[in-house]
Amino acid sequence: MSFIEYGDTIKDGDTAIVFLGHESMFPVKVQHGTVTQTKYGVIRHSTDLIGKKYGSKVTCSKGGWVFILHPTPELWTMNLPHRTQILYSTDISIITMMLELKPGSIVCESGTGSGSLSHALIRTVAPSGHLYTVEFHQQRAEKAREEFREHGVEHLVTVTNQDVCKNGFGVSNIADAVFLDIPSPWEAIGHAKSALKAEGGRICSFSPCIEQVQRTCLAMEEYGFTEINTLEILLRVYNVRTISLQLPDLGKAAEDNSSTGFDSSSPSHQGSPSANLQQGTVQFKSGVPLREVVGHTGYLTFATKS
């Protein structure tokens, strides 16, 4: 199993996603002889998982069932254990595009955190690229190394435990892109410039506060970066549902309909707009925004090394 290569069959040691519903799923490490409890009953790894195909419908001990999904960076973002605040797919998608990442790209990242963005970056630069990620906190760095090894991507990533603001990324003039998600990104702009290739490398800084953005932009200008711009990505989700509305009394239009000899009881006309006119209501599909809307996550500041 690897987060960058799809495997058909669930194997001992794999990380799989147990899917109970769109709002209910969780990761599980598949191990021979282990069981996993769900609200639908027990899943026995030896008999219910190992050897089955990813995407299989598995019946639990209480008669309920779940799907077992192959892990992807998107599913991992939704289910990973939170060691820090993480980036979600809305911001990750614009980051990978604006940094112009592709297979073979060399990327530097700080800090690693919970590894949400790291997995997406690794999948984007695979199979010949590489991610150099720096984490200040020792335990988080060790946990990130362990997860990358379990997920079959350790050959594509180097995890370093150090202070990027003081010691940099440990590489020079090779990176196609640099990403910063640290409290004081302006202190690491010089090291980011040193890590980037001679010309044309891209940098992105994620900060929740506009004051951080201001200081970072000033530092970027000081170090000669160009094309500096800041984005804020806000997501608005709609539910598509059927709505019934009462039609107004149109007077003459209603008389015209009756004069045509239209029979609303005819099976061939049931469900048509004319049938709804006779009943005084009409049904149609409409997009309704969710009551709770995801708000501000952070500002993304992009620039180019000149």
Higher pLDDT, 281 or 18: 18
Task: Outline which parts of the chain fall under CATH 3.40.50.150.
Answer: 75-234+295-305
Residue 51 backbone phi and psi in degrees, to 5: 95, -15
* Residue pLDDT, tens place only, 83-98: 999 999 999 999 999 9
pLDDT more than 90, % of the chain? 75
222 is in an annotated binding site: no
* pLDDT value, residue 264: 47
181 is in an annotated binding site: yes
Q: Could you tell me which CATH number the domain at 9-71 has?
A: 3.10.330.20
263 is in an annotated binding site: no
> CA-CA distance, 278 to 178, in Å (whole number)?
64
* pLDDT value, residue 259: 53
**Where does the pLDDT of residue 283 fall: very low under 50, low under 70, confident under 90, or very high at 90 and above?**
confident
**Where does the pLDDT of residue 276 fall: very low under 50, low under 70, confident under 90, or very high at 90 and above?**
very low
* pLDDT value, residue 257: 55
* pLDDT value, residue 148: 97
Looking at residue 267, the DSSP 8-state letter turns out to be T
Out of 3.40.50.150, 2.130.10.10, 3.40.50.2000, 3.10.20.740, which CATH number does the structure's domain 75-234+295-305 have? 3.40.50.150
* Residue pLDDT, tens place only, 178-200: 999 999 999 999 999 999 998 89
In this predicted structure, the answer to whether residue 115 has a pLDDT above a threshold of 80 is yes
Residues 131-141: b if buried by 16+ CB within 10 A, e if exposed? bbbbbbeeebb
Task: Outline which parts of the chain fall under CATH 3.10.330.20.
Answer: 9-71
Q: Enumerate residues 6+ apart whose C-beta is below 8 A from 250.
A: none
In contact, 176 and 277? CB cutoff 8 Å: no
74 is in an annotated binding site: no
Q: At what angle do helices 89-98 and 116-125 cross, to 10 degrees?
A: 40
Dihedral of the CA atoms 116, 48, 38, 149 (nearest 10)? -20
In this predicted structure, the answer to whether residue 18 has a pLDDT above a threshold of 90 is yes
227 is in an annotated binding site: no
Q: At what angle do helices 138-150 and 116-125 cross, to 10 degrees?
A: 40
CA-based nearest residue to 159, from 141, 173, 182? 141
180 is in an annotated binding site: no
* pLDDT value, residue 289: 84
Phi/psi region, residue 271 (left: phi>0; alpha: psi -120 to 50; beta: rest), is left
pTM score of the predicted model: 0.84
* pLDDT value, residue 235: 85
- 155 is written with which tokens? 């050959």
In contact, 105 and 82? CB cutoff 8 Å: no
* Residue pLDDT, tens place only, 204-262: 999 999 999 999 999 999 999 999 999 999 888 888 988 888 887 766 655 555 555 54
63 is in an annotated binding site: no
In this predicted structure, the answer to whether residue 296 has a pLDDT above a threshold of 90 is no
